[in-house]
C-alpha cells in the first residue's frame, strides 16, 4: 500500500495543505454555484422593477442564470488555483511576458469579458421585451426592438474597446487617432449602410408600416416580418423571403394595404370591331348591374366604353372590393370576371385579341 503524503509535505512545488484547500474551494464552489447564480439573477431584477412593475421576474432569471453560472465558474477556478504556484523548475516567463502564464491569464480575462457581455445582451433582451409588452406602453414592439439592437451595438463596441484597454493594454486614444484617415475612408464606403440606418430611424418614427402589415412598394408585395438596421424582411405572396434596403422603402411610394379598407381592381375588356354600339352599351349597363348587386363591391365603380384600340373596342372597368384580404379580393374578382364573360356571350359579342387585317390593292 502506497504511503500517504504527510500534510506538511509538498506536491509540484506546493504544500499539500494548499492542494486540499484548492480542492475544497472547487468542491464547495461547484456545489453552490447554481444557487449563487440564481441569487445574483434575482438581485439583478431589482434594476428592472420600475420598468416591469414587479412582473416577469422569472423570465429574467431564466435568461441570465446560465451566464452567471459560467461567470461564477471562472471566479471559482481563479480563486482556487491562485493558491497554487507553478514549480520553479518549469522556469516560466512572468505573467506580463508571452508564455504559459500570460496565455492562461489572457484566456481567463477574455472569457470573463465574453460572459459579462452575454449577461448585458440578455438583460437588454429582457428590457426590450418588458418595455414593449407592459400595459399602455408608448413603445411598439418594432421600436423597442430597434432600441434593443442599438443598445447591443453600443455594448459590443464598448466591451471591445474595454477589452483592448484592460486585457491587451492598448492605448485607445492613440488607436482612435490612428484610425482617423482610415475611418474617413470607411465612412465614405459605408454611405449606403448609413443611409439604410437612417431609413430604419425614419420607419420607426414615421411608422408607415409595422411587422405583420401587407405592403406594396416598387413591384414588391408581401407581409413585413422584421424591420432591421439595414434591411426590412418581407414575405412575398409566393412565400419567398425578400430583404429590401430601408433606404429604398422610404424613397419610393409605398402602399400599406393593411391600413386600407378596400382593394381597387382596374382592367379593360376588349371587344372585336364587329361589335355594334348598341351591343356595347348594353354590355356596359349589364356590368354595372352585376357590380351594383355584389355586396362586396363598393358603390363608386366605373364602367365606360373608353377606347378605340388598334384591334379592339375597350371597356374600362374600375371597382373596389370592400376588404383588404387578398383571398377575398381574388374570389370576388373571379366571380365578376365569369359574369362579364356571360354578359358578353349573351349579347353576341366576342373578346378581341391582337390581329392585323391586310388589304391588297387590285
pLDDT at 140: 66
pLDDT digits (tens, 9 = 90+) for 243-282: 888 888 888 888 888 888 888 899 999 999 999 999 999 9
Q: Give percent of the chain above pLDDT 90.
A: 33
Helix or strand holding residue 11 (H, E): strand 10-11
Which is higher by pLDDT, 274 or 140?
274
Angle 100-133/57-81 helices, nearest 10 degrees? 170
Within 8 A by CB and 6+ apart from 14, the residues are: 83, 84, 85
The pLDDT-based confidence of 70 (bands split at 50, 70, 90) is very high
pLDDT at 1: 40
- What is the CB neighbour count within 10 angstroms for residue 83? 14
- pLDDT > 60? residue 184: no
| pLDDT, mean over the chain | 84
Using a 10 angstrom Cβ sphere, with 0-12 exposed, 13-18 middle and 19 or more buried, the burial of residue 25 is middle
Q: Which three cell numbers stand for residue 314?
A: 375597350
- What is the CB neighbour count within 10 angstroms for residue 27? 12
- pLDDT > 80? residue 358: no
pLDDT digits (tens, 9 = 90+) for 103-120: 888 999 999 999 999 999
Q: Which three cell numbers stand for residue 319?
A: 371597382
pLDDT at 139: 66
* Radius of gyration of the chain measured on its C-alpha atoms: 36
The pLDDT-based confidence of 124 (bands split at 50, 70, 90) is confident
Residue 156: which of 198, 117, 208 has the closest Cα?
Answer: 117
- pLDDT > 70? residue 210: yes
Backbone angles phi, psi at 170, to 5 degrees: -85, 140
pLDDT at 189: 53
The residues that bridge with 236 in the sheet, in sequence order, are 222
pLDDT at 138: 62
Q: How far apart are CA 56 and CA 128, in angstroms?
A: 13
pLDDT digits (tens, 9 = 90+) for 20-40: 889 999 999 999 999 999 898
pLDDT at 183: 58
pLDDT at 182: 56
Averaged pLDDT, 1-6: 51
pLDDT at 167: 85
**Domain positions in the chain:** 11-138+150-161, 193-259, 263-346
Q: How far apart are CA 159 and CA 151, in angstroms?
A: 12
- pLDDT > 90? residue 201: no
- pLDDT > 80? residue 176: no
- pLDDT > 60? residue 3: no
Using a 10 angstrom Cβ sphere, with 0-12 exposed, 13-18 middle and 19 or more buried, the burial of residue 237 is exposed
- pLDDT > 70? residue 5: no
Which is higher by pLDDT, 188 or 216?
216
| Topology annotation, domain 263-346 | Alpha-Beta Plaits (3.30.70)
Which is higher by pLDDT, 331 or 193?
331
Which is higher by pLDDT, 351 or 212?
351
Q: Which CATH number fits domain 193-259: 3.40.50.300, 2.70.40.10, 2.30.30.60, 1.10.10.10?
A: 2.30.30.60
Contact between 350 and 356 under an 8 Å Cβ cutoff? The reply is: no
Amino acid at each position: 500500500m502506497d504511503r500517504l503524503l504527510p500534510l506538511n509535505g509538498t506536491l509540484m512545488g506546493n504544500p499539500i495543505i494548499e492542494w486540499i484547500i484548492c480542492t475544497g474551494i472547487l468542491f464547495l464552489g461547484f456545489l453552490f454555484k447554481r444557487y449563487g447564480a440564481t441569487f445574483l439573477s434575482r438581485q439583478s431584477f431589482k434594476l428592472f422593477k420600475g420598468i416591469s412593475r414587479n412582473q416577469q421576474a422569472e423570465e429574467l432569471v431564466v435568461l441570465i442564470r446560465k451566464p452567471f453560472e459560467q461567470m461564477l465558474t471562472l471566479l471559482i477556478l481563479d480563486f482556487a488555483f491562485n493558491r497554487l504556484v507553478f514549480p520553479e523548475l518549469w522556469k516560466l516567463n512572468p505573467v506580463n511576458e508571452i508564455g504559459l502564464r500570460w496565455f492562461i491569464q489572457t484566456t481567463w480575462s477574455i472569457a470573463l469579458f465574453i460572459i459579462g457581455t452575454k449577461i448585458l445582451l440578455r438583460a437588454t433582451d429582457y428590457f426590450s421585451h418588458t418595455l414593449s409588452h407592459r400595459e399602455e406602453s408608448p413603445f411598439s414592439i418594432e421600436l423597442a426592438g430597434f432600441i434593443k439592437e442599438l443598445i447591443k451595438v453600443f455594448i459590443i463596441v464598448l466591451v471591445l474597446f474595454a477589452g483592448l484597454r484592460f486585457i491587451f493594454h492598448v492605448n485607445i486614444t492613440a488607436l482612435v487617432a490612428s484610425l482617423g484617415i482610415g475611418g474617413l475612408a470607411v465612412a465614405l464606403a459605408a454611405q449606403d449602410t448609413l443611409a439604410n440606418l437612417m431609413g430604419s430611424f425614419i420607419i420607426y418614427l414615421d411608422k408607415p408600416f409595422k411587422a405583420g402589415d401587407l405592403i406594396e412598394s416598387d413591384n414588391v408585395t408581401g407581409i413585413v416580418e422584421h424591420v432591421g438596421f439595414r434591411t426590412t424582411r418581407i414575405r412575398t405572396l409566393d412565400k419567398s423571403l425578400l430583404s429590401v434596403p430601408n433606404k429604398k422603402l422610404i424613397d419610393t411610394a409605398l402602399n400599406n394595404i393593411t391600413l386600407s379598407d378596400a382593394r381597387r381592381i382596374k382592367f379593360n375588356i376588349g371587344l372585336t370591331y364587329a361589335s355594334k354600339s348598341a351591343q356595347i352599351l348594353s354590355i356596359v349597363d349589364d356590368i354595372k348591374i352585376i357590380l351594383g348587386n355584389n355586396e362586396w363591391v363598393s358603390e363608386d365603380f366605373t364602367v365606360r366604353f373608353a377606347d378605340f384600340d388598334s384591334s379592339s373596342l375597350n371597356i374600362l372597368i374600375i371597382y373596389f372590393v370592400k376588404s383588404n384580404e387578398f383571398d377575398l379580393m381574388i374570389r370576388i374578382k373571379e366571380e365578376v370576371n365569369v359574369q362579364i364573360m356571360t354578359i358578353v356571350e349573351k349579347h353576341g359579342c366576342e373578346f378581341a385579341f391582337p390581329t392585323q387585317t391586310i388589304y391588297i390593292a387590285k
